Amino acid sequence: MNFAPILGKSLNFQIIKNVFKQRQISVFKRFNINSRAHHSDGFSVIGSEPDRHSAEFKDNYSKMQALVNDLKEVVCKISRGGGEKAIYRHTSKGKMLVRERIANLIDTGSPFLEIGQLAAYNLYGSEEVPAAGIVTGVGIIRGVKCMVIANDATVKGGTYYPVTVKKHLRAQEIAQENKLPCIYLVDSGGANLPRQADVFPDVTHFGRIFYNQAVMSAQGIPQIAVVMGSCTAGGAYVPAMADESIIVKQQGTIFLGGPPLVKAATGEEIDAEDLGGADLHCRKSG
């Protein structure tokens, strides 16, 4: 795993794309990723001719439109992330919101096919976890289809609930089956501790994420991580297992336990940058 040069506090996504291009030149060509035409191109559309003026059609249309509007409202709420207070704390540090990061990463004007947007919806009772705290989907970067897996730190600090793990693993499964390079935008506090009993134990739980990274890397499917915030405990393993890692200076940190844990365990006082910041990892540990 290589750490890329330290970035300034204002992240330039062109640097990520340049790192991606280097990997693309050295690895991607063996897969011929974009050679398939869309299957639908070879088929005509099979439709029907309902009576649009009938009472039955109008009634069905009205009911379906109401359901569609309800779904749009839910999706809009989910896309706002963890709420106004969390968004303010996040943006006041000079950090972009997760969907802004993705929009700046993918090719201008290209689509982003989001996967599992309704994950965790109404799953944890009164506890809201929009999109399971992680945005996953297929986007185009430098003309290549990629799987983007991005933590939303406005949702419970980007920590992993049981369904967050499942969503992450599903994205990796799709990437491996279709040989899609993986871009991880990491901003996570690791496992959600109150629910860690359902996060860690099984073969299909949290640890499988890192196993998948190792397997895909061995298969020649690039694994690129961008550390855009605090990456603690389980969140620290994603960039460590990546082929290339980029760390945002004065924002990105990687450590198993943060400064409060170090002080509690050893009595030593140390700030996050000295413990696991970009300069430390690019000059010393990496």
Q: What is the pLDDT of residues 53-86, one digit of tens each?
A: 999 999 999 999 999 999 999 999 999 999 999 9
**Separation CA 21–CA 88 (nearest Å):** 34
pLDDT at 282: 83
**DSSP string for 46-91:** ------TTSHHHHHHHHHHHHHHHHHHHHHHHHHTTT-HHHHHHHH
DSSP 7: B
**Which two structure tokens, joined as six digits, stand for 168?**
């992450």
Rounded Cα–Cα distance for residues 239 and 241 (Å): 5
Say if residues 178 and 218 touch (Cβ distance below 8 Å): no
Q: Domain for residue 193, yes or no?
A: yes
Neighbour-count burial of 118, counting CB atoms closer than 10 A to its CB (0-12 exposed, 13-18 middle, 19+ buried): middle
> Considering the domain boundaries, does residue 170 fall inside one?
yes
Q: Give the residue among 179, 182, 165 at the shortest CA–CA distance from 234.
A: 165
Q: Is residue 37 part of a domain?
A: no
Nearest to 162 by CA among 113, 209, 99: 209
What distance separates the 2 farthest-apart alpha carbons in the chain? 77
Token code pair at residue 270: 């140390």
pLDDT the model gives residue 27: 53
For the record, the structure tokens of 71 come out as 């779904």
d(CA 210, CA 91): 29
Residue 176, domain extent: 62-284
Calculate ∠ Cα 218-104-29, nearest 5°: 35
Nearest to 209 by CA among 184, 244, 172, 236: 172
Contacts of 38 (CB under 8 A, 6+ apart): none
The verdict on residue 235 lying in a domain is yes
Instruction: Output the six-digit token pair for 274.
Output: 């000295």
What CATH number is associated with residue 229? 3.90.226.10
Tokens 């050893």 belong to which residue?
266
CA-derived radius of gyration, the chain: 21
d(C-alpha 231, C-alpha 276), whole Å: 9
Q: At what angle do helices 234-241 and 207-218 cross, to 10 degrees?
A: 0
| Dihedral class, residue 43 (left if φ above 0, else alpha if ψ from -120 to 50, else beta) | beta
CB count within 10 Å of CB 52 equals: 8
Strands (E), 99-143: 112-115, 134-141
Burial of 206-223, coded b for 16+ CB within 10 Å and e otherwise, reads: bbbbeebbeebbeeebbb
CB 115 within 8 A of CB 138: yes
Looking at the structure of the chain, the number of domains it has is 1
In this structure, is residue 43 part of a structural domain? Answer: no
Whether residue 28 lies inside any domain: the answer is no
Tell me whether residue 124 is in a domain.
yes
pLDDT in tens, the chain (286 residues): 665 545 554 566 777 777 766 666 555 455 444 444 445 556 777 878 888 899 999 999 999 999 999 999 999 999 999 999 999 999 999 999 999 999 999 999 999 999 999 999 999 999 999 999 999 999 999 999 999 999 999 999 999 999 999 999 999 999 999 999 999 999 999 999 889 888 877 788 899 999 999 999 999 999 999 999 988 888 899 999 999 999 998 898 998 888 888 989 998 999 888 888 888 888 888 6
In a domain, 27, yes or no: no
